[in-house]
Amino acid sequence: MPYIHQLSEDVFSRIAAGEVVERPASMLKELVENSLDAGALKIDVEVTGAGVDSLRIVDDGGGMDAEDVKLCLSRHATSKITSFEDLDTLSTFGFRGEALYAIAAVAKITVTSCTAESKIGWRVTSEGLKVSNGPAPAIPGTTVLVKDLFYNTPARREFLKSDGFERGKLASVIEEAAIANPGVRFTYKSEGRNVLRFDPENSGDAFQDLDLRAAAVLGDDLAGGLLPIDVERPGVRVRMLVSPLDKMPSSRSFQYFFVNKRPVSSRILQQALYKAYGERPSGKHPVCVALIELNADAFDVNVHPGKREIRFKEDGQMFEIVSGLVAAALAKAKAAAPITIAPAEASVVADAPVSTPAPAVAAAQPSGPDGYYLGGRALLPDEFKQLNFGAAVAMSAPEGAPAWYTPPFRFIGQIERAYLLFEANGGLFMLDQHAAAERILFEKLMGEIEHGGAKSQKLMLPIPVDLPASAVRMVLDKSDRLRKLGFDVVAHGKNGLHVTAIPALFGAAEDVKKLVHRIVDALSDPIDEAATLRHDAIATVACKAAVKAHDRLGEEEAYKLLDQLKDCKDGSCCPHGRRAMLALNRDELARRFQRPGAVPL
């Protein structure tokens, strides 16, 4: 008995229809959703040519009978809704009967299907204007084979990104579907290689299944130690896994939200998550896997053709629920954490300067409340004379020096282990030591890269970085560019990369993981301009390698920083645009102290 029918004009005119085949991954998403809608428990996908040459998906779902196979490629042909009101009780991913039609318009497609009851299968093929159909072997389930995507619209191929990027996007589709459907077996083969395999999780406990599947997708590194949230409220069921406060990766790419198993990009949900974390260490983002189940009438999927956006009927309520649950889980984990002594406190003592001033010298230090004293240690006139200033205090600025550089500079001290204070020309000159160091390294690295590539250091032991397979592909795809930055990365195992070399300028190997996470973010951004990526990646390397705020710096280092900054093309800010220096010149100081004769504002 056929189920597929054409939606009436009245119905489809109210559906947010439009482009569903933007790239191979958007096509794969539609096809996987069709298989899930058909109740499949096994979904096998195989692509060649990054999904452009061919993409085959085989499922063991309910299948179609011959009549339905003949109809399935037609526009607005669906078995999932009849009236517009059906959207209020929708339990399937599809509803507009457009995906197969849209794919058939831009590619050669063959759909072969058979129901469990049927003695014979059926097949329909569409190649341009030629549509043919006929009998096929009786294998229950459905196979869709798509070939030569965009063969008749070559301009659309131009919009595709590199093969590696498209492969990464394809793998992400499978990863997302796998997280939301732990009971379904997924395999994914690309260019003849088995890339992903997720065996069904059937422990009988839905939360445990989710937990295991999330670990299979994300890898142990990212999935280890996630906090569980499993709550049922009237009309809402929330299952989540989120990072504890002290274990967040440096990437926002590992956040997955599903509403009734549908992967969604929802600002409300994302904001609710971040609200719960409050102030985070800079650059850190929580991992989040959130499966939310709602009654079908509590949200609207008919907002966007890609069905990725949804609208909640009760936005505020959703926000409160998610943010409240995450905050409670974080508070609970914090309460359970063992109490440790803050390392910052301990290191103040350990790092104290070895040469404590002699009592006489100490007495000569500026008196008054500690707060008035500018930190570091006081420079006494005698000591000052003995200092070896080096090039930084040449009496006149060298040719081409920036406008702010008006020597001599006299180092006064360091505040908060973050700012360096100098006197220059009767005024006060302040440097943010981290921003300044970042800028210097950034320009150094840029220079090295422009002259054939950054110097690289081989690591004795490769640094393992666990990532979802989709992210691994994206990073590997850019390995040439990364090599120019001084990195060498190779695939390692199922879920990982090995970083085997890092830029020579990069001091701390333990920051490599953070950096790889940042690179993943930059790469998965659809507007990945080559130049932006390069700028961001170099800026990130510079940022990680630079002296940190909180490093104690002595005079010599302070002068060196100043001197190097002077040679930068743009020393006024760090590569991320944050201010690196501040000055209060002599007039400004006089004015601020309302000295008689001060130049008025």
- Residues forming contacts to Mg ion in the complex (CB under 5 A) are 34, 94, 99
Residue 5's identity, in one-letter code, is H
Minimum Å distance from CB 187 to ligand ADP? 16
**How far apart are alpha carbons 511 and 572 in whole angstroms?**
26
Query: Smaller CB distance to Mg ion: residue 94 or 496?
Result: 94
> Which is closer to ligand ADP, CB of 38 or CB of 547?
38
Q: Which tokens is 542 given?
A: 């510079």
Does position 63 interact with ligand ADP (CB under 6 A)? The reply is: yes
29 binds ligand ADP (CB under 6 A): no
Local structure of residue 573 (DSSP, 8 states)? B
Of 307 and 377, nearer to Mg ion (C-beta) is 307
Cβ closest to Mg ion, residue 73 vs residue 520: 73
How many whole angstroms separate alpha carbon 532 and alpha carbon 349? 42
Could you give the string, one character per residue 362-391, with x where binding to ligand ADP holds by CB under 6 A and - elsewhere? Answer: ------------------------------
Which one of residues 44, 46, 65, 98 is an interface residue with ligand ADP (CB under 6 A)? 98
Check binding of 30 to ligand ADP (CB under 6 A): yes
Stretch that binds ligand ADP, among 9-17, 62-70, 272-280, 540-548 (CB under 6 A): 62-70
Nearer to Mg ion, 63 or 168 (CB): 63
112 token code pair = 């072969």
Sign of the CA dihedral 66, 67, 70, 75?
negative
330 touches, from Mg ion, ligand ADP, none (C-beta below 5 to 8 Å by class)? none
Report the candidate in 482, 558, 549, 561 with the shortest Cα–Cα distance to residue 516.
482
> For the chain, what percentages of helix, strand and coil (3-state, to nearest 5) are there?
40, 25, 40
80 binds, among Mg ion, ligand ADP, none (CB under 5 to 8 A by kind): ligand ADP
Toward Mg ion, which CB reaches closer, 61 or 94? 94
Residue 190 binds: one of Mg ion, ligand ADP, none (C-beta under 5 to 8 A by kind): none
DSSP-derived letter for residue 84 is G
- Residue whose CB is less far from Mg ion, 264 or 489: 264
Q: What is the dihedral of CA 521, 525, 528, 534, to 10 degrees?
A: -10
Q: Which is nearer to ligand ADP, 124 or 581 (CB)?
A: 124
- Supply the minimum distance, in Å, between the C-beta of residue 107 and ligand ADP: 13
SS3 244: coil
Would you count residue 110 as binding ligand ADP (CB under 6 A)?
no
Q: Can you read off the two tokens belonging to residue 74?
A: 């037609």
Least Å distance, CB 88 to Mg ion, is: 19
Contacts (Cβ under 8 Å, ≥6 apart) of 322? 238, 240, 269, 272, 273, 276, 290, 292
Among ligand ADP, Mg ion, none, the one that 76 touches (CB under a kind-dependent 5 to 8 A) is: none
In degrees rounded to 5, what are phi and psi of residue 573? -145, 165
58 binds ligand ADP (CB under 6 A): no
Q: Is 136 helix (H, G, I), strand (E, B) or coil?
A: strand
Peptide bond before residue 408 is cis, with ω within 30 degrees of 0: yes
The CB-nearest residue to Mg ion is 94
DSSP summary character for residue 570: -
User: Under the criterion CB under 6 A, does residue 72 sit at the interface with ligand ADP?
Assistant: yes
In the complex with ligand ADP, which residue's Cβ is closer, 47 or 99? 99
- Residue linked to tokens 């959207």: 87
**From candidates 79, 126, 255, 540, binder to ligand ADP by CB under 6 A:** 79
C-beta of residue 321 within 8 angstroms of C-beta of residue 235: no
The listed partner (ligand ADP, Mg ion, none) that binds 216, CB under 5 to 8 Å by sort, is none
Interface characters, 138-167, with ligand ADP (x: CB under 6 A): ----x-------------------------
Strands 185-190 and 42-48: parallel
Q: How far apart are CA 329 and CA 326, in angstroms?
A: 5
Span near ligand ADP by CB under 6 A; candidates 73-81, 319-327, 342-350, 357-365 = 73-81
Closest CA to 226 of 209, 246, 206: 246
Residues 6+ apart with CB under 8 A from 542: 438, 439, 441, 442, 444, 445, 505, 575
Provide the token pair at 81.
Answer: 């809704």
Between 104 and 291, CB nearer to ligand ADP: 104
Sole binder of ligand ADP in the list 7, 11, 21, 35 (CB under 6 A)? 35
Stretch that binds ligand ADP, among 75-83, 227-235, 337-345, 545-553 (CB under 6 A): 75-83
- Asked if 80 touches ligand ADP (CB under 6 A), the answer is yes
Q: Which two tokens stand for residue 92?
A: 């399937």
Question: In angstroms, what is the minimal distance from the CB of 94 to Mg ion?
Answer: 3
CB of 77 or CB of 472, closer to Mg ion: 77
First to last CA, the chain: 87
Choices 78-86, 170-178, 283-291, 458-466; region in contact with ligand ADP by CB under 6 A: 78-86
Whole-angstrom distance, CA of residue 439 vs CA of residue 431: 12
Residues in contact with ligand ADP by CB under 6 A are 3-4, 30, 34-35, 38, 59, 61-64, 72, 77-80, 94-101, 142
